[in-house]
Structure 1
């Protein structure tokens, strides 16, 4: 600093006074740099937490590449493979390179819905017979919207190109799109009919796997308000037999509750829609008229009547005596 006693001469000043302003300015600049660095780090973390598009969807092109990727998807399944199979010969096939057999040998559950057209293909019955022989659960429907394979609910594969183009497919990982594809499969599965093959190798549709006379009697009594134990006593069956048959009806209709079973029984005509006439081929249980459909009781529980929307005023339970 300049000396006040001797103009034109410089003398030493206290460091705290001389450097204080400089240190304050540099400290402010450092704080601003730290703030900018923190903002950049936050933006980086936000970007890193959002998966890139290629991490959610893969595009696979070429017949060999599609077949290889499908093979990997199937073999990578640990618990379940769900598939929709069309009758059109596209790259994403229902059986590829023996991957189904390998997955089934590891205990992987297979649920497959095939178009009815598949049954008319030269190798259709043979492949379905092999699938049923591996204890795969197969159902049939008039038409499926697209060919689809889902492994463990975490990876899906669908065809990408149409007829005449180079085979290509999308591999979809965990995302909203995968959830939509899973929902599509479950909707088709619920509407499809269980498939079994007769001795002649023909696909047996609903008439072959629908409720038999005993099933209709059980359903009739449950809809009338009887408990499982009462039904078993009335029909001289074991309690477990009654419960097993009810479970079979639930699997047949693709439902998880007895309330849903009651509604599907009405929709499928197991409970007559109107008037005293029962389902074709059966007769109404004598003296059994209910507001349809009633809620099927849980084992050992009573029943509370529950009418579906837009149901007719009354419907008679179909049964065989």
Structure 2
């Protein structure tokens, strides 16, 4: 928690322990931290340099913690000052970069990124820089947008960033497709499914978009769109695909009496996404007869006799309502 102030886990633990006991000798503190005395003393010296601890003048050989409100407050002020300076430096560098560009007006609108690593890095930056929402269209053969490396998504979700994702139906058949989508839904992301998406796309806060330009013969590249009519067009494209897509529900529970339970809703969601009974059974690790029994139970609960009727009734009752 105090890492942003320059303290690692050991130093934070030492300070917290010292705060809890008030005053302590090195051997006692080392025992509480399960560290060697040399490492403990080195941690205390660093806390001393940060103004978080001091040697006791009244009781030689002992260390006391500085009041957190005062000591940590001073560190926070210093950190904010450093962040302000870094922000100013970033703004100045961005201004220099724009001034050095031969065609600044065009470059401000569209940027070309070349190379798989560079494109992946831009995708990561878009997510880490998002403050409100990330929207994505995912193809069955993604070049950038993938759920495998989801640290950035988890960090963004922790900050309250909303994710809306539309995936091609073929994503459900990928070896890790259901696992990745279940993880996304577990982070409260909204996921929908369509037959095909027109292009792979990421839009962050409606202020930047990334459009990969995959080619079987050339090095991967992407367009980073910053502003203007092209960005509005890409945002509108996402919203159009989103409206027509089917919601995906995995691992959810019924919210009211008379509603299907979680496992039944998983089966229903995948069937409405266009998967066969056999594919659903394989993806969920179920037997084919189990899937068919759940479909029959859903039809009985909905009061219908055909699967087509089941789909309509599911929408009427809000089991798979678009949000």
What's the TM-score, normalizing by structure 2?
0.48
Which has the larger helix fraction? 2
- The structure whose Rg is larger is 1
